[in-house]
Amino acid sequence: MDLVLFGPPAAGKGTQAARLTDLLKVPQISTGDMMRTEKKSGSDLGQKFADYMEKGLLVPDEMVGELIKKRLGQDDAKNGAIFDGYPRTVAQAELLDSILTELGRKVDKVVSIEVSLETVVERISGRRTDPSTGQVYHLTYNPPPVDFGGELAQRKDDTPDVVRERYKGYENKTLPVLPYYEAKELVAAVDGVGSLDEVTERIKAAIGTS
């Protein structure tokens, strides 16, 4: 199955994608995570990604296209993927369609996780990541285990100014992706407010696996 998880920053796309990989037996493909990994490697490409990300701007489509083509060529993605944070522009959605067509596949479903701007701000301010595993927590809603001994990190782009910019990019460039998929009758809207389990169950119902 090729599933797109769509939604604003901090809607819970990454959290839910990670919870669905075992069930669907396909990998989570997060362009944001891939870019952060590239940045951590110290490469020039990683620094180019960071220059956009730290300002809350979308990375240009061509650069993202190269990443996604490479990732979809890897063995673990040969039966499908859960796309988290991709596609984010209509051009990216068109490219994804053409790559999947070449592979004899297509986007099967787009789940739009709906949350208000107020929820976005609340989730972003409490989000922390374990730098050694990449596991994402929320200080209130999804805290680390009580015996967690490490130090949690906050993403550089989770500051109020950058979040405002990211949300603007979402409204102007990413929201138009929804009508693109609605025209293909692929979109299911899911309420993103509730416990992690509740949201997972709603997504499972939307994709017909519950």
- Of the ranges 40-48, 50-58, 96-104, 202-210, which one interacts with ligand AP5 (CB under 6 A)? 50-58
88 is an active site residue: yes
What would the two tokens of residue 157 be?
């782009």
One residue of 52, 91, 108, 144 binding ligand AP5 per CB under 6 A = 52
- C-alpha to C-alpha distances, 146 to 132, 142, 149, 198, nearest whole angstrom: 17, 12, 8, 23
Structure-token pair, residue 92: 């990216």
Using the rule CB under 6 A, which residue among 39, 71, 166, 204 binds ligand AP5? 166
User: Do 164 and 56 form a contact (C-beta atoms < 8 A)?
Assistant: yes
Exactly one of 3, 35, 82, 206 binds ligand AP5 (CB under 6 A); that residue is: 35
Q: Between 2 and 157, whose beta carbon lies closer to ligand AP5?
A: 157
Mind giving me the DSSP string for 24-75?
HTS-EEEHHHHHHHHHHTT-HHHHHHHHHHTTTPPPPHHHHHHHHHHHHTSG
- The amino acid at residue 11 is A
**Closest residue to ligand AP5: CB criterion:** 32
- The residue (of 137 and 181) whose beta carbon lies closer to ligand AP5 is 137
Catalytic (active site) residue 105: no
Q: Which residues contact 79 (CB under 8 A, 6 or more apart)?
A: 25, 26
Other CB atoms closer than 10 Å to residue 48's CB: what's the count? 16
53 interacts with ligand AP5 by CB under 6 A: yes
- What is the closest distance, in whole angstroms, from the C-beta atom of residue 23 to ligand AP5 in the complex? 17
The one-letter amino acid code at 161 reads D
> Cβ 65 to ligand AP5, closest distance in Å?
9
Binding site for ligand AP5 (CB under 6 A): 7, 9-15, 31-32, 35, 52-53, 56-59, 64, 84-86, 88, 92, 123, 126-127, 136-138, 141-142, 157, 166, 194, 196, 199
Catalytic machinery residues: 13, 88, 127, 155, 166
